[in-house]
Amino acid sequence: MIGIIVVKKFSEMKKESGKLNYPKTLNFSYVDKDIELVTRDYIKSLILQNKSQLTINEYSRTIFHFLNFCYLYIGNNISLKDLENFQDTDFLAYQSFYLGKSKKHETLKEEMINNYFTFEDKEPKNISIGHKEFFSHKDNLNLINDIEKKFRGEIFSGKEILNKYGDISRKIEILCLNGCIKKYKEKEKSKRSLARCQSVLRNYFRFLSERNNWKNHSFNQISTTKYDKRISNKTFKEEDLINFLKFIDPDQSKSAKGWNSWQHRRDIAVIYFIYSTGLRVSEVLQFKFSDTPFDDQIKVIGKGKKERYIPILPIIKEKISKYIDVLKASTKIEIVNNDPLFLKINSHDKSSLTARDIQRSMKKLIEIYPGKIPSEATPHSLRHSFASHLLQNGINIRKIQKLLGHESIDTTQIYTNLDDDYLKQEYDKIQN
């Protein structure tokens, strides 16, 4: 079962006339009409604030994850009154569920009430010692049949079991031990992920409170989770990144055959582009062939459609030029100015490279590279490394903040590796 979210995968919100379209595939089947209307208004407000497509997508996903939890937690369709009456203990229950971490309870009843279950099979594969009599008792077999009819294929809460059957926590435990029922939990998430989730829900409930005149809602009493802001496991050391680039760059290495293909030249150009500018992957993909050859400074449209200018180093121009030369020499497809700069071609059809494509190509390169790599290296690691390496070489953090397109200096601190004393001193200067 893929998570608790039963909404369909959100369709890509395409740009039309310079505006983001409203998401079309949101599933409101577990909420009443009032929640549907106010949630649609909330998402519309995000669009009007010029939030990026990725941000709107993430906010929507988090909200629907929460609403589906509420449906399980309460046991029926959710109303605005339910959300208004949610208490801090209810939010903490969601946070525990969201993190996917098991919690020990003193009694079997508490264990049942605070867990979620899926039905697996009426027939236990291997009956545990001492449980044979349980599975031969007619009442227990009838209970199993009834549970299968009511809950099979769905996630159900211990509270719902209690409401329907009373305290059968001992029987539920036996059914779990013998494989008839399985305790459901989400994939474990980090504290940083929980902090993002809390931020989204806080914003959502602020909107609900203002719209419905709720006073002092209990969600405001939940403190934001603290997390370690260092990202050393995602950031290349400068020497390690240089060695990685030397290995994968066909102009410096003969490590693998076929590395002079236009596809590899394209991937190398993207990697150099991100590392040399600190751009987000989505920002790199906004350029068209008409934008080349690049000037020494170019305009970038970042999050919230905010503009900034970044310098273009000669190495970027060189790698992009070689990619274009090999592309035109290797394919018979006509390239026009309006084409995306970083192309993929399938059956003579041109389309833009995607963030997922870049992730896959970098992952393949990492897998064959024999040197040192951060344990969680991704294309975004190149942006982290850009900021960290500039700081290590004495560039003021305010300048890096502008290059990265951050509104807050605190965000820039999160994106950099502040492990050594010099970086800590630089950051302290800004704070004092």
Catalytic, out of 171, 383, 384, 389: 383
What is the dihedral sign for C-alpha 271, 360, 12, 64?
A: negative
C-alpha 275/C-alpha 272 separation (Å) is 5
Catalytic, out of 380, 384, 389, 427: 380
In sequence order, which residues have a C-beta less than 8 Å from that of residue 234 and are 6 or more positions away?
A: 374, 376, 377, 378, 380, 381, 384
- DSSP string for 183-226: EE-PPP--HHHHHHHHHHHHHHHHHHHHHHT--S-GGGGSPPPP
Q: Is 406 a catalytic residue?
A: yes
Amino acid at 176: C
DSSP state of 31: B
C-alpha 164/C-alpha 188 separation (Å) is 30
Q: Is 380 a catalytic residue?
A: yes
Contact 311, 296 (CB under 8 A): yes
Catalytic, out of 109, 131, 303, 350: 303
C-alpha 328/C-alpha 334 separation (Å) is 8
C-alpha 239/C-alpha 24 separation (Å) is 47
Residue 344: phi and psi, rounded to 5, are -130, 145
- For residue 45, CA distances in Å to 48, 49, 51, 122 come to 5, 6, 9, 48
116 three-state secondary structure = strand
Catalytic, out of 116, 323, 415, 427: 415
Q: Is 202 a catalytic residue?
A: no
In sequence order, which residues have a C-beta less than 8 Å from that of residue 129 and are 6 or more positions away?
A: none
Q: Is 332 a catalytic residue?
A: no
132 three-state secondary structure = helix
Catalytic, out of 280, 319, 384, 389: 280
CB atoms within 10 A of CB 15: 10
Give me the active site residues, please: 280, 303, 380, 383, 406, 415
